[in-house]
Amino acid sequence: MRYTEHGIPYLALPPPHSNIRLTPPRKEDGPSVMAILNHPSVYMNLAGPPYPYTQTDWDTWYPELSEFTNKALWELQGAQDSLRNGEAKESDWKSRKWVGAGVPLSTIREVDHGTGEERLIGEINFRRREFLMILDVVEKKRVKEENDAREAGDPDIVWEIGFYLSPSCHGRGIMPAVVRTLIADFLVPYMNVHVMTGAYMDHNAASKKVLEKNGFIFDSLVPDCIEMLEVKTRVKGKKCKGREATADLALMSYICKDFVTESAKPKQLPNFNGSRRLSQEIAATADPSIDRLTIPVEE
Ligand SMILES: CC(C)(COP(=O)(O)OP(=O)(O)OC[C@H]1O[C@@H](n2cnc3c(N)ncnc32)[C@H](O)[C@@H]1OP(=O)(O)O)[C@@H](O)C(=O)NCCC(=O)NCCS
């Protein structure tokens, strides 16, 4: 973890991407976020944000984002104090404080080392899982509430990662490096993350690659899970068999029972060989519904 001269924490990527940082979001990021989210090679791969994405959308979203970020930054301070005070016992995660809200360093910026100027090039979200692939709303709510109620640092929390980059930065190997840095320098040492998932629309080969390069493995696929906005596809209609009005959602999961706390090995990457299929490892406890997803069949 590094700090700006104003004491704001950030993570820097290793070479060849050492001019890229993960920082907290800022209110003035709106126009840059709008420019990226309104590009078809980005919005066609995202289910979540509104489209077209407007300044009003950002102004509505930012207070929530800011509140969440401040909570996570406050938790980070507690986690760091707890480490400094030697409270951590390797065998007992409850013996120290952890960040439980999510990652507060969610904005990816490229820094011009000559001028010091920063350019927003993307975002990475890391939150407790939304369980988008569970289509039964009652079951989804139950599983989500159970996951949300887990204490910060609980290794059984199921997390979810999501990301996007400015089209001008695609194909430079940036996002795999961002995810790798985040795992090694934040998720393991400050959050005790053991179980992560990432979902992508099945047509999105680049997103799949990013996850694979970081040790995630394919878990399952739900056909026609995402209803694409008509304004994006120009196709009328709700869920149907056509691939334009809906998208298949694929799930990748990353599970490692061998993660270690920072007290033991501060900068070590998780052992990717320890990855196992979500359905084999934790379906019975963390996400019992995953093996019996109801896939809607629509005529
Ligand atoms: C997905 C995304 C974050 C990838 O980040 P990136 O930094 O560009 O990733 P990389 O530079 O490693 O490139 C992605 C990999 O996918 C490959 N790839 C890209 N498009 C591909 C395609 N259509 N078919 C097969 N492979 C493809 C690239 O060749 C590269 O693999 P390689 O390094 O082995 O050659 C970026 O493309 C993006 O922001 N897309 C729009 C938003 C999005 O899809 N977000 C994810 C939602 S789940």
Amino acid residing at 161: I
Q: How far is the CA of 33 from the centre of ligand 1 (A)?
A: 19
* 176 within ligand 1 shell (Cβ under 6 A): yes
Is residue 204 lining ligand 1, measured as CB closer than 6 Å?
yes
In terms of residue numbers, what domain contains 169? 2-290
207 lines ligand 1 (CB under 6 A): yes
Assigned domain for 296 exists:
no
Summarised one tens digit per residue, pLDDT across range 11-52 is 999 999 999 999 999 999 999 999 999 999 999 889 889 999
Span 246-257, pLDDT tens digits:
666 777 776 654
Provide the sign of the torsion angle of the four alpha carbons 19, 209, 104, 108, taken in this order.
positive
3-class DSSP assignment, residue 147: helix
The edge-to-edge listing of strands for the beta sheet with 9-12 is 2-3, 9-12, 20-23, 107-111, 118-128, 158-165, 195-201, 246-255, 217-227
Predicted confidence at residue 254, as pLDDT, reads 66
Amino acid at 294: T
Domain count, the chain: 1
Please provide residue 76's backbone torsions phi and psi, each rounded to the nearest 5 degrees: -60, -40
For residue 297, is it within any domain?
no
Burial 47-84 (b: 16+ CB within 10 A, else e): bebebebeeebbeebbeebeebbeebbebbebbbebbe
Question: Residue 130: inside a domain, yes or no?
Answer: yes
Answer yes or no: is 295 within a domain. no
- Strand (E) positions, 76-117? 107-111
Cβ–ligand 1 distance for 164 under 6 Å, the answer yes
Residue 148 lies in a domain: yes
Centroid of ligand 1 to alpha carbon of 138 (angstroms): 34
- Comparing CA positions, the residue from 27, 52, 57 lying closest to residue 38 is 52
How many A from CA of 189 to the centre of ligand 1? 27
- Is-contact 19 173, C-beta < 8 A? no
Q: Does 39 contact ligand 1 (Cβ within 6 A)?
A: no
Mean pLDDT (the chain) is: 81
The verdict on the CB of residue 216 being under 6 Å from ligand 1 is: no
Q: Is the CB of 150 under 6 A from ligand 1?
A: no
CA distance 249 to 208: 11
* pLDDT at 193 (0 to 100): 92
Q: In percent, how much of the chain has pLDDT > 70?
A: 78
- Tell me the whole-structure pTM to 2 decimals: 0.84
* Residue, of 291 and 269, whose pLDDT is higher: 269
For the cut 80, the answer to whether the pLDDT of residue 294 exceeds it is: no
In one letter, which amino acid is 106?
Answer: S
Nearest ligand 1 atom to the CA of 207 is 1
- Domain for residue 194, yes or no? yes
Q: Can you give the CATH number for the domain in which 72 is found?
A: 3.40.630.30
Q: Give CA separation, 271 vs 65, 211, 229, 262, 266, in Å.
A: 32, 15, 39, 14, 14
Q: Is position 10 within any domain?
A: yes
